[in-house]
Amino acid sequence: MPTPNAQAFAFLSTRRSRPAKTLAEPVPSAEELAPLLQAAARTPDHGKLEPWRFIVIEKPAMSRLADVAQARGEALSLADDQITKGRGQFDQGHLAVTVIEVQKPSDKIPALEQTYSAGCVCLGLLNAALASGWGANWLSGWPSHDRGFMQDALGLAEHERIAGFIHIGTDTSAPPERPRPDIDAITTWVRA
């Protein structure tokens, strides 16, 4: 019989991201952030490739990233509302950890599995922050998919891309519960 960890299961069963726009200061210090990054790095990683790394964006850098998003949005001829939304997470942000997917050459580990691992790091960091009492949210948006933004804002190499921005701060507003999936409707049992 397995030994349940009721506290961990209760957390996972009720965890809820906090809207990034409601996160305020104070934010985790470098010392407070380090164990969250360590917990996030304990993720499924077939082949032990570590196909990800972290870039911590502090408040002073947020303005620069907002300006890069604005410039890239204009260069791409995006609609004004898309540009506003793209720069908004940086205008409003106080601290974000960018999880960078780093594709590593491997004969055994497909690129897609490396992408999955980077996604697991994002969720691991989000949950570690929430479990530590911080508010947190995983954002992406068009800047995270734009090669020009990746290069201009963060200096990423061609084999790197943004898996997500994990915004972390003091939770100022608990959002209402939202509808959750009907598990019976999306689960198939194969018994023979």
Binding region for FMN: 15-17, 42, 46, 138-140
Tokens encoding 8: 């961990």
Which residues carry a binding-site annotation? 15-17, 42, 46, 138-140
Tokens encoding 37: 């990054």
How far is CA 187 from each of CA 10, 182, 184, 190, rounded to the nearest angstrom? 22, 9, 5, 10
Strand locations in the chain, DSSP E?
23-24, 52-58, 95-102, 135-139, 160-171
Three-state DSSP class for residue 83: helix
Residues 6+ apart with CB under 8 A from 83: 69, 70, 73, 74
What is the distance between the alpha carbons of residues 76 and 166, in angstroms, rounded to a whole number? 25
